[in-house]
Amino acid sequence: MSTILPTLANLPRPLPEIPSRGSDHEHLPHVLKFSGGRSSAALAFLLAESGLLRAERGDVILFANTSAEHPATYDFARECKARLESDFGLPFLWFEFCTVEDARRGVYVRRPSYRLVTSNPVESDPRGYRSRGEVFEEMLSYQGMLPNPHSRSCTAKLKLYPSHQLLAEWFGVGWGARHAGHHSTQRYVTPDLALVRYRRSGGTASDEAYLRRIECLTRQPSSRPAQRWQDYTAGRVSRPIGTPRLAAMWGSDATLHVTLLGLRADEEGRVRRILERSLFAEGAGSRRCSIRTQPPGERPCFPLVDWGFDEGAVRRFWHRRSFDLELPATAGNCVFCFMKGTKAIGVSAREADSMRVPGAPSDITWWVRMEQKYRREVPARNGGGMTRFGFFGLRGPTFAELAAAGGSDRDRYARGVPACDCTD
């Protein structure tokens, strides 16, 4: 890892080849994970302008929309997509987690899938992206519990797993995403049926609490129609056309590909965790391996780290550009992410933000509502009442408390916890 942090003027033009961990990497398809932030966007433009991303190789840029991003993030991501497609011909796909109905062992259930979306809001384009928490809430309703600092299921469910499904089709054969779910317009997974199954499986929440949690899931469409890659990107799609066939993503024959992540030279801890995860995944040859956060064929690379780009270098990069990510100083893409810590969340809640959308995830009241609706309730071990688990687990503060009084320096989550892999 380089310890020399460059100015932009010190970087050669065009940039040297992408630092890799193998001699065959140059010929593998490259997948750039665009988080919506400045770092991954800077990486995309640096590589594109140096000719290091090539549509004909099967390269693609992916943005996983959680529907909980700041409004400025969507504006920035839309501009990046438009320029990278029009100026360099690169395919740039936005996608979202969703669920569909399918038969399993003779009964209908909902299973996770994904959908491609355009860079237009769904309010103006039926194929467009969601931004009022709809995707995030569907995930909560599907898993029946809230993510928390000890179980960061939002990253896995909303970003990692859907991207694996998408890439199995992108690396395979066909003109796009195949139809997902059954072909009937009827919904077979009803609230009453879901409640019966919940009781049979030993669920302990009250009928009222469970039906409240399952309501969002059971009103979703039963299927997601087939989608053409070319309908969702203006870039060049260079994929084999023929009888649709998925590429292997798991097992000893998993498809090899390079994943480009926009982590910086001052984020060595995050880089180390991903490399450790990668080495474990590469040794997991079984298709039944229970670790599903990283396919064994994925080869992660961190060009900004190898080039010595820290946060200051990234900011200088955007200072020289005609557009930038216009986030408030204390906000992130996911403004009220519980990983930021209660103190930072309290500051964000009090900060004036002209782009905040009332009742949407850029407004803390949305998080208050989600926590109250989806908190997990189980009988207390001592037999006295119910134990409730929120975004900060069992004993952490609630978002209602943070909205009313702000964060405290004293609670265990005040300073947050090490950043997760949300760059994925």
pLDDT score of 4: 41
pLDDT score of 373: 95
SS3 364: helix
pLDDT score of 32: 98
pLDDT score of 226: 98
- CATH number of residue 32's parent domain: 3.40.50
pLDDT score of 190: 96
Residue 258 has pLDDT above 90, yes or no: yes
What's phi and psi for 320, nearest 5 deg?
Answer: -90, 0
Model confidence band, residue 376 (pLDDT cutoffs 50, 70, 90)? confident
Residue 287 has pLDDT above 60, yes or no: no
Average pLDDT over residues 67-76: 97
Residue 5 has pLDDT above 50, yes or no: no
Give the model confidence (pLDDT) of 47-65 as tens digits.
999 999 999 999 999 999 9
Residue 39 within any structural domain of the chain: yes
Q: Which helix (H) or strand (E) holds 350?
A: helix 342-350
Q: Are 373 and 276 part of one and the same domain?
A: no
Q: Are 67 and 39 part of one and the same domain?
A: yes
Give the residue with greater pLDDT, 422 vs 88: 88
The CA distances from residue 200 to 195, 197, 203, in Å, are: 9, 5, 7
Q: Are 307 and 336 part of one and the same domain?
A: no
Structural tokens at position 360:
């949407």
Q: Are 353 and 299 part of one and the same domain?
A: no
Model confidence band, residue 3 (pLDDT cutoffs 50, 70, 90)? very low
State pTM to two decimals: 0.92
Residue 419 has pLDDT above 60, yes or no: no
Residue 233 within any structural domain of the chain: yes
Per DSSP, what are the bridge partners of residue 32?
61, 260
Residue 375 has pLDDT above 70, yes or no: yes
Residue 9 within any structural domain of the chain: no
In 3D, which of 263, 317, 264 has the Cα closest to residue 3? Answer: 264
Model confidence band, residue 150 (pLDDT cutoffs 50, 70, 90)? confident
Model confidence band, residue 72 (pLDDT cutoffs 50, 70, 90)? very high
> Of 279, 294, 327, which residue is a domain's last?
327
Range of the domain at 385: 328-413
Model confidence band, residue 293 (pLDDT cutoffs 50, 70, 90)? confident
> Of 300, 327, 354, which residue is a domain's last?
327
* Cα angle: 314, vertex 152, 127; to 5 degrees: 70
pLDDT score of 94: 99
Residue 206 within any structural domain of the chain: no
Q: Are 231 and 132 part of one and the same domain?
A: yes
Give the residue with greater pLDDT, 240 vs 286: 240
Average pLDDT of the chain is 88
Give the model confidence (pLDDT) of 102-116 as tens digits.
998 889 999 999 999
Residue 199 within any structural domain of the chain: no
Which residues are CB-contacts of 104 (< 8 A; sequence separation ≥ 6)? 111
| Separation of alpha carbons 424 and 416, rounded Å | 20
Residue 6 has pLDDT above 50, yes or no: no
DSSP 281-345: HHT---TT-S--SS-TTEEEE-HHHHTT--HHHHHHHHHTSS------TT--SSTT-GGG-HHHH
Q: Which residues of 121-156 are buried (b: 16+ CB within 10 A; e: fewer)?
A: ebeeeeeebbbbbbbbbbbbbbbeebbbbeebebbb
pLDDT score of 199: 95
Q: Are 361 and 289 part of one and the same domain?
A: no
Per DSSP, what are the bridge partners of residue 181?
223
Give the model confidence (pLDDT) of 314-364 as tens digits.
999 999 999 999 998 777 888 899 998 888 898 899 888 999 999 999 999
| Separation of alpha carbons 386 and 7, rounded Å | 56
Q: Are 242 and 343 part of one and the same domain?
A: no
Give the residue with greater pLDDT, 202 vs 394: 202
Least confident segment among 80-84, 142-146, 249-253, 383-387? 383-387
Give the residue with greater pLDDT, 234 vs 381: 234
Q: Are 239 and 377 part of one and the same domain?
A: no
Average pLDDT over residues 256-282: 82
> Of 327, 345, 364, which residue is a domain's last?
327
Q: Are 154 and 262 part of one and the same domain?
A: yes
Q: Are 348 and 228 part of one and the same domain?
A: no
Q: Are 238 and 351 part of one and the same domain?
A: no
| One-letter identity of residue 374 | Y
Residue 284 within any structural domain of the chain: yes
Residue 339 within any structural domain of the chain: yes
Residue 385, class by beta-carbon neighbours within 10 Å (0-12 exposed, 13-18 middle, 19+ buried)? exposed
Residue 208 within any structural domain of the chain: no
Please name the residue that has the structure tokens 């050669």.
12
Say how many domains are in the chain: 2
Q: Are 332 and 309 part of one and the same domain?
A: no
